[in-house]
Amino acid sequence: MRIATWNINGLRARLDFVRHWLAARQPDLVGLQELKLTDEQFPHADFEAVGYHATVHGQKAWNGVAILSREAGTLTQRGLPGQEDFGSRLVTAQFGDLSFTTIYCPNGKHLAHDDYPRKLDWFDSLATFWSETRSTEEAAVLCGDLNLCPAELDSHHPPEKTGDRIFHTTAERARFERLLEWGLVDLFRHRHPEERMYSWWDYRGGSFHRNLGLRIDFLLATPTLLARVRDVVIDRDYRKKKDGLTASDHAPVYADLE
DNA sequence: ATGTCGGAATTATTCCGA
């Protein structure tokens, strides 16, 4: 089984590109972020035509998350409880004995912005919600765009210059650590402990070609799934144009489970 | 180059968010 996460930066602009990737990689479960459309605007027929169901939590213009799946799942959660006014950023569905959640965490903008403390609060709500609804004994995935770099290896910025830089603060990293302390495992880092690989590159300034990126997109999983992991890939090739189609600023991340 | 995208508001241009 192949599971994946991908911030697509606007589904209306990215539909053909996403379908190109689905055809090439044939994933079974995909968490999508930044749909930037409403539930009514979601192109279900275009995904059904290529063999995918979708479980959607959208909103007008911004945010929005969905789960694509070969088999229809059962929707179990739309939105992070208590944080609904920060946008549509979480959706969970059940696929057999596997619980699959995808999230689009708030960006925070910069440390002096009101969104920064709200971002930390959002993560606190996430950790509480997660620990109250999930068990470390079950098969569960939490994936998405977390908008933070857990360690120096996950950022092109030199560590001596990241102390007060958004995505790199001690407070943000503590939120990520709390998820790991609960029992979730960062599949890419588990599989590739020393590899400096990014999942996002700014559109501006030739960042991709200069490899000035950040690893901010994660597949987190419960320990019971670990033994089944065969490979974890950041699909950097799909950060490039395909057949003249513009890529998202994020690459897909996928894992193959036995 | 504060360099690019996607989308909204408004109707080809500017603003905003990332």
Tell me the mean pLDDT per 10 residues along chain A, length 258: 98 97 98 97 97 97 97 97 95 98 96 95 98 98 98 94 92 98 98 97 96 98 97 98 96 97
- List chain A domain ranges: 2-257
In the structure, how far is the CA atom of residue A137 from the C1' atom of nucleotide B4, in angstroms?
44
- pLDDT at position A110, please? 93
Which spans in chain A are helix H? 11-25, 44-48, 115-133, 170-182, 187-191, 223-226
A14-62 confidence digits (pLDDT tens): 999 999 999 999 999 999 999 999 999 999 999 999 999 999 999 999 9
Looking at domain A2-257, its CATH architecture is 4-Layer Sandwich (3.60)
Residue nearest the C1' of B6 (CA based): A10
Residue nearest the C1' of B18 (CA based): A107
A62 beta carbon to strand B: under 7 Å: yes
Tell me the C-alpha distance between A89 and A244, whole Å. Answer: 30
- pLDDT at position A18, please? 98
- pLDDT at position A162, please? 86
Tell me the C-alpha distance between A75 and A100, whole Å. Answer: 10
Q: Which nucleotides of B are covered by protein (CB under 7 A)?
A: 2-8, 17-18
In the structure, how far is the CA atom of residue A87 from the C1' atom of nucleotide B13, in angstroms?
28
In the structure, how far is the CA atom of residue A101 from the C1' atom of nucleotide B14, in angstroms?
37
A109 beta carbon to strand B: under 7 Å: yes
pTM: 0.97
